[in-house]
Amino acid sequence: MKTITLGSGLDVSRLGLGCMGMSAFYTGSGQDDAGATTTLHRALELGVTFFDTAEMYGPYTNEELLGRALRGRRDDVVIATKFGTIRHTAGDAMGLDGSPENVRLSVEGSLRRLGTDYIDLYYQHRMDPSVPVEDTMGALAGLVQEGKIRHIGLSEAAPDTIRRANAVHQVTALQTEYSLWSRDPEREILPLVRELGIGFVPYSPLGRGFLTGSIRSVDQLDESDFRRNNPRFAGENLQANIRIVEQVDEVARQVGATAGQVALAWLLAQGDDVSPIPGTKQVRYLEENVAADALSLTSDQLAALDAVAAPVGDRYEDMSSVNR
Ligand SMILES: NC(=O)c1ccc[n+]([C@@H]2O[C@H](COP(=O)([O-])OP(=O)(O)OC[C@H]3O[C@@H](n4cnc5c(N)ncnc54)[C@H](OP(=O)(O)O)[C@@H]3O)[C@@H](O)[C@H]2O)c1
């Protein structure tokens, strides 16, 4: 597996592993920790060193799972986790909290659950409009000084917020949704992070599984699956969006790969400062996804992918919490 460097010299495998679905939000999550652990260990064997979690996945159980699975391998991995969507200042209620006090409370819990004394990359998961980002960054910079975290990241921050945050302390990575059906970052965000020397971590790079072609109806998904309430997966929208998969499939047939591999190879072709984190709990999907590292696409194939149809439907039911 090739490696890339995010901002501030943080080296990661250029494909990471998104661990969220092992414990939360998707069909089958939280039901097979042994299987998820096997997947995590196989990822290490395949050269994946970049593991993505958050305190809110579970909540908490995903960090615990990762902590158990990576025991004894701490020096071999880059652990990224996130805070800011659980209010430890208010009885651990769900809700945004970017206050310095919450930053300090959150990190202690994550360190404990992950079984480590430092976090490689600590992201603010969602921006809190009631707390100036300068205050949150000040607290995070303090954690860097104390050695509790090594790098600072932001997730779904808007351009102005990124600039303000980076003026307080170098931001190492921005994690935002980016894939063949979520291309908003190309307009302002990608040029900005490049200007500021910030790495980019595309989340949901497989379109939450949709771009692999395996989801043709929400009836395939558990009642509690997050995607049942996602506008892009709803009724007629999903049917309209299937044409995107068909266009990706066309390229996949040309190169003898799967649609998911092509979706990842397209992302990898966007730059050597981009590290997508496809999520899976299954070894067979992991192996398929990791093989995209070796897949290169011609300029014609990349152009065909650049031209796939725009999706129908927002990427969240409530778009007010992203890009701010
Ligand atoms: N910062 C944020 O706000 C944010 C938001 C969402 C996600 N994330 C992070 O990004 C990571 C990845 O995003 P994601 O999990 O939402 O979406 P994703 O990586 O686009 O897709 C994951 C889904 O695709 C399925 N899948 C994976 N590989 C496949 C393959 N080769 N063939 C068929 N299906 C495949 C998975 O199935 P199985 O579950 O059955 O393996 C899962 O349902 C997450 O794990 C999380 O760490 C961050």
Residue type, 95: G
Residue range 124-144, pLDDT digits in tens? 999 999 999 999 999 999 999
pLDDT value, residue 100: 98
Enumerate residues lining ligand 1, CB below 6 A.
Answer: 18-21, 26, 28, 52, 155-156, 175, 203-209, 212, 214, 260, 277-282, 285, 288-289
* Residue % of the chain over a pLDDT of 70: 100
pLDDT value, residue 112: 98
The tokens for 96 are 């945004």
Q: What is the mean pLDDT of residues 242-264?
A: 98
| Dist. CA 209 → ligand 1 center (Å) | 6
Residue 288's domain comprises 3-207+263-297
- Given pLDDT bands bounded at 50, 70 and 90, which one contains residue 257? very high
Q: Taking all residues of the chain, what is their mean pLDDT, rounded to a whole number?
A: 97
- Given pLDDT bands bounded at 50, 70 and 90, which one contains residue 158? very high
Ligand 1 site-directed mutation target among 208, 214, 230, most atoms within 8 Å of CB: 208
Residue type, 69: A
Residue range 210-252, pLDDT digits in tens? 999 999 999 999 999 999 999 999 999 999 999 999 999 999 9
Q: What is the mean pLDDT of residues 262-290?
A: 98
Residue range 50-79, pLDDT digits in tens? 999 999 999 999 999 999 999 999 999 999
The tokens for 143 are 């954690």
Judged by DSSP in three states, 294 sits in helix
Is 27 within the bounds of a domain? yes
Is 286 within the bounds of a domain? yes
pTM of the full predicted structure?
0.98
The tokens for 100 are 């310095």
* Residue % of the chain over a pLDDT of 90: 100
Would you say the C-alpha torsion 166, 268, 207, 292 has a positive or negative sign?
A: negative
Is 242 within the bounds of a domain? no
Q: List the residue whose alpha carbon is closest to atom 30 of ligand 1.
A: 285
Query: What is the rounded distance in angstroms from the CA atom of residue 311 to the CA atom of residue 132?
Result: 33
Number of domains in the chain: 1
CB 115 within 8 A of CB 146: no
Is 109 within the bounds of a domain? yes
Ligand 1 site-directed mutation target among 241, 275, 285, 293, most atoms within 8 Å of CB: 285
Is 153 within the bounds of a domain? yes
| Dist. CA 130 → ligand 1 center (Å) | 30
Is 143 within the bounds of a domain? yes
Residue type, 312: V
Is 213 within the bounds of a domain? no
Query: What is the rounded distance in angstroms from the CA atom of residue 149 to the CA atom of residue 140?
Result: 8
Q: List the residue whose alpha carbon is closest to atom 11 of ligand 1.
A: 18
- Looking at residue 134, the DSSP 8-state letter turns out to be H
Residue range 22-44, pLDDT digits in tens? 999 999 999 999 999 999 999 99
Helix axes 33-45, 61-69, angle to 10 degrees: 50
pLDDT value, residue 276: 98
Taking CB atoms within 8 Å and a gap of at least 24, the contacts of 7-11 are 7/151, 7/170, 7/171, 7/172, 7/173, 7/193, 7/196, 7/197, 7/198, 7/199, 8/151, 8/170, 8/172, 8/197, 10/78, 10/120, 10/121, 10/150, 10/151, 10/172, 10/173, 10/199, 11/78
CATH number of the domain within which 274 lies: 3.20.20.100
pLDDT value, residue 176: 98
Q: What share of the chain is helix, strand, coil (3-state, %, to 5)?
A: 45, 15, 40
Residue range 308-318, pLDDT digits in tens? 999 999 999 99
Atom index in ligand 1 nearest the CA of residue 179 equals: 20
SS (H, E, C) 45-98: HCCCCEEECCCCCCCCHHHHHHHHHCCCCHHHCEEEEEECCEEHHHCCEECCCC
Q: List the residue whose alpha carbon is closest to atom 21 of ligand 1.
A: 208
Q: List the residue whose alpha carbon is closest to atom 13 of ligand 1.
A: 204
- Given pLDDT bands bounded at 50, 70 and 90, which one contains residue 82? very high
CB 323 within 8 A of CB 295: no
Minimal CA–CA distance to 311: which of 248, 219, 223?
248
Judged by DSSP in three states, 137 sits in helix
Is 233 within the bounds of a domain? no
Q: Which residues, at least 6 apart from 46, have a Cβ–Cβ distance to it below 8 Å? A: 1, 286, 287, 290
Helices and strands (H and E) in the chain: how many: 11, 11
- Given pLDDT bands bounded at 50, 70 and 90, which one contains residue 86? very high
Minimal CA–CA distance to 55: which of 120, 124, 8?
124
| Dist. CA 22 → ligand 1 center (Å) | 9
Q: Which residues have a catalytic role annotated?
A: 57
Burial tier of 323 (Cβ tally within 10 Å: 0-12, 13-18, 19+):
middle
